Amino acid sequence: MRTTVGWHAADAATLQRAPVRRRTLRPDDIAVRVDYCGVCHTDLHAVRGYRGEPGPMLVPGHEFTGVVTEVGSEVAGFEIGDPVAVGNIVDSCGDCAMCRAGQENFCREFPTLTYGGTDRRDGSATLGAYSREYLVRDRFAYHLPDGLDPAGAAPLLCAGITVWEPLRALGAGPGTRVAVVGLGGLGHLAVKLAVALGAETAVVSRSRGKATDARRLGAHEFLVSTDDSDMNAAGDSFDIVIDTISVPHDLGPYLGLVALDGTLSQVGYLGPVTVQTTDLLIGRKKLGSAGSGGRPATSALLDFCARHDITADIEVLPSARVNEALDRLERNDVRYRFVLDLSDLDRSSI
Ligand SMILES: NC(=O)c1ccc[n+]([C@@H]2O[C@H](COP(=O)([O-])OP(=O)(O)OC[C@H]3O[C@@H](n4cnc5c(N)ncnc54)[C@H](OP(=O)(O)O)[C@@H]3O)[C@@H](O)[C@H]2O)c1
Ligand SMILES: [Zn+2]
Ligand SMILES: [Zn+2]
């Protein structure tokens, strides 16, 4: 075993600095010095839902970039010093139909999550990247393309890929209309990606407060979800609606925006929902979801972002301010993603 340092949930309100134990490097592992890790709303759900010990330690963090510091004896594709990016899955069975189709995110044995998962080989609980070092199986690390800012690129690995897969699978591009509901970490990347794919893109937000930002991000239209005239005027008009709202909510108003044979993809709140069948029936509408991404799609996303110069709009904070980042994310006070700079963990006390 080896020990690094990171931020763990002392309770549901506070992360504290603590030693984090990592496995001994395996032949197909790379060790990554974590430089930047995005703060995903899923981290907030995990921390606020944390019930404390007994139970595994909780170290969040599943969208990060850094530099390779060590490679296992069987690793061929990475060298010490390579800039890399890692997302929210770190292993899968590699053998099921989903894995063979390049959809490791849907592995029938369930993929190994970057934190809060169970390592497939030693059964240990996975601990995330709010820490200075992460060990990852080489297949689940990606070369960070030249030209992508490592801090701004970190959120591509969860927020970005989570909206990229449904946008691609549903055919977003020239001639399609996309609405993105909720302008947060996922939402703002969905807007940038949909616009770059060539789709006519709208933002649906709770107030007009983010309208200027939405235009700056490239959106062509802005709808206020609490304004019936906005929502009625846009009824039945979007081929793809990507719903990133982080709390339970009625899907009816957003299904109302979907065009004939179009799809509402709900990627935010993932609990049970109630749907009026007639909201689907009228217009033969479809309801779907998505999460994370397979290895081919993740590589494609990074290439696409490098070509189109897309990274997240971020506020970088030293990792010692992680609790402030979570509190502000909870208050929706971020435009549009916090990224922790983990280098402060090199100092012996912060
Ligand atoms: N499927 C997956 O694999 C996956 C991956 C990552 C994250 N997620 C989930 O996706 C959700 C969004 O994550 P995120 O990191 O983008 O969160 P975020 O940055 O907090 O953004 C969520 C957005 O939802 C809207 N919203 C918040 N509270 C709302 C409320 N009470 N009613 C209506 N809208 C509300 C806000 O947009 P406006 O201010 O514009 O209204 C907010 O910006 C979270 O639940 C997260 O756990 C899922
Ligand atoms: Zn995430
Ligand atoms: Zn599998």
**85 and 183 assigned to the same domain:** no
**80 and 216 assigned to the same domain:** no
Instruction: Please report which residue ranges of the chain form alpha helices under DSSP H.
Output: 41-48, 97-100, 150-153, 159-169, 185-197, 211-216, 228-233, 252-255, 277-281, 295-308, 322-330
For ligand 3, a single-atom ion, which residues have Cβ within 5 Å?
A: 92-93, 96, 99, 107
DSSP class of 125:
B
Q: Ligand 1 pocket, 329 CB below 6 A?
A: yes
**98 and 154 assigned to the same domain:** yes
Domain boundaries, position 280: 159-289
Among 289, 315, 331, the domain boundary falls at: 289
CA distance 83 to 65: 7
Q: Are 135 and 68 in contact (CB under 8 A)?
A: no
Among 250, 268, 289, the domain boundary falls at: 289
**7 and 151 assigned to the same domain:** yes
Q: Ligand 1 pocket, 246 CB below 6 A?
A: yes
**Nearest of 264, 268, 265, 248 to residue 256 by alpha carbon:** 264
Atom 8 (ligand 1): residue with closest C-alpha? 268
CATH of the domain at 258: 3.40.50.720
Whether cis (ω within 30° of 0) applies to the bond prior to 54 is yes
3-class DSSP assignment, residue 4:
strand
Q: Ligand 1 pocket, 205 CB below 6 A?
A: yes
**326 and 214 assigned to the same domain:** no
Tokens 């980042």 -> residue: 325
CA distance 233 to 258: 12
Q: Ligand 1 pocket, 114 CB below 6 A?
A: no
The pLDDT value given to residue 350: 57
**Structural tokens at position 88:** 């929210």
**282 and 299 assigned to the same domain:** no
Amino acid at 39: V
| DSSP state string for 223-235 | EETT-HHHHHHTT
| Atom in ligand 1 nearest the alpha carbon of residue 292 | 3
| Atom in ligand 1 nearest the alpha carbon of residue 203 | 40
Q: Ligand 1 pocket, 41 CB below 6 A?
A: yes
DSSP class of 19:
E
State the CB neighbour count (10 A cutoff) for residue 101.
Answer: 11
Among 289, 309, 335, the domain boundary falls at: 289
**Structural tokens at position 160:** 């970005």
CA distance 116 to 113: 6
How many domains does the chain divide into?
Answer: 2
CATH of the domain at 30: 3.90.180.10
**141 and 257 assigned to the same domain:** no
Tokens 């994370």 -> residue: 292
- H or E element at residue 334: none
Q: Ligand 1 pocket, 185 CB below 6 A?
A: yes
**41 and 137 assigned to the same domain:** yes
**71 and 136 assigned to the same domain:** yes
**7 and 146 assigned to the same domain:** yes
**263 and 209 assigned to the same domain:** yes
List per-residue pLDDT tens for the chain, 350 residues long.
Answer: 899 999 999 988 999 999 999 999 999 999 999 999 999 999 999 999 998 887 889 999 999 999 999 999 999 999 999 999 999 999 999 999 999 999 999 999 999 999 999 999 999 999 999 999 999 999 999 999 999 999 999 999 999 999 999 999 999 999 999 999 999 999 999 999 999 999 999 999 999 999 999 999 999 999 999 999 999 999 999 999 999 999 999 999 999 999 999 999 999 988 899 999 999 999 999 999 999 999 999 999 999 999 999 999 999 999 999 999 999 999 999 999 999 999 999 987 65
**154 and 164 assigned to the same domain:** no
CA distance 102 to 216: 34
